[in-house]
Every structure is written in C-alpha cells, then in structure tokens.
Amino acid sequence: MQRLLLDRRQVLAGLVGAVGAASLPLPALSAPVPDDLTLWLQETVTATPELRAPDLTGAPADAVTSALLKAGEGMTRAWGLDPFIPDWRTAISSVLVPAKCQERPSYLTEYAAIAADIEWLATRLGDHASAIDILSFAVFPEPIAAVARLGRYRAFILHEFARFLIAQGGFRRFAPLQNYAGFMGGPFTGPDLPHRGLGR
C-alpha cells in the first residue's frame, strides 16, 4: 500500500498562482491508496474511436453531468468556497459542459469516460468525496502522463473546471485578491466600466 500526499494548496498554486493559493485554508491531507488503485490511476487509457471522438457532439447523459458536478463540487469544497457551490453548479451544467460537448473539438466522449472512472472509484472507496480528493489532489513521486487515466481527469476536469470557476468570479472570492483592480475585459465605453476599483 502506497501513501500519497494530497496537497490541495500545491495543486491550486499551479492553477491560480501562489498568492491566491496561500490564502486558502487547505491543509495537506494524506490518504492510504492501495497499490492496485495507484496502478489503475496511472494506467494508460487506450484511444478508441468511441473513447476519443472530438468530432462527436451532443448533450451528455444525465449520469455524466451528475458525476462532473460532483467533481466540481468537491474541488470547490476543497478550496473553501462552499457558499458558491449552487451558482457554480448552475454555471458548470448550463454553460461549461454544453459548450465543451456541443462544439468541436468535443469533450463528449472524454466526459463520459471520466464520469465512468469517477463512479468506479467512488464505488471502490465508498463515497464520491474520497474519489474526487484522490483524482484531484493526489501527489505522485513521478509525473503523471497525459494519457494516463489520472492525467485525462486532471486535464479535462481539474484544470478546465478550475479556470472556469475562477473566470466565474473566483478571484473575487480569494481574500487577498478582494481588492484586485484593473481591466477585467469588455468594452472600454459605456456606463459600466470593465474594471474593478479598489474596494469594489
């Protein structure tokens, strides 16, 4: 049995920078992971037309969306942003997932495969929270290959969802960035300026 360090602060620092990550009350956790599960996480996922079909678009099955929402919810809780889960659940299910599945290249088949992995791992561990913690925050001694089961999860779920949640207002919710000022995007004209001043 191998012991893996779940360092949430380290993962988040790579996504939003050290300043934002340092503010989050996220102690490192450790969890025993059986060797066979470690091998399963690091297993290369063989590409097949059904599994990797970027041209196949459409709406994901409800079970797929449900698994993805559990992943987003688990990540949000880990970062201490529980009050915003309802808003972000709506944003993930009505904005991010449809956009990623209905346009090419589509994540439709990637999402289906990852959702199946989430459910398999949750069944194995007994709950979704433990599965999401390991998939999102387990630190391995060796780099994770992009084609590995865990690598696919982190590329298509952890990194994409983190960027999306930050774009949906995450910066305003990280304490040291509360007074972030500067251009935030949008037109330069109009009554609502596209920036946040100090104290806003």
pLDDT at 122 over 60: yes
What's this model's pTM, rounded to 2 decimal places? Answer: 0.72
- CA distances 127 to 20, 71, 92, Å, are 29, 12, 21
The proportion of the chain whose per-residue pLDDT surpasses 90, expressed as a percent, equals: 38
- Per mean pLDDT, which range of 12-21, 46-55, 120-129 is the poorest? 12-21
Q: Name the β-bridge partners of 2.
A: 33
Q: What is the model's pLDDT at position 9?
A: 45
DSSP 200: -
pLDDT at 2 over 50: no
- Beta strands, E only, the chain: 2-6, 29-33, 138-139, 182-183, 195-196
pLDDT at 198 over 90: no
Q: What is the model's pLDDT at position 154?
A: 92
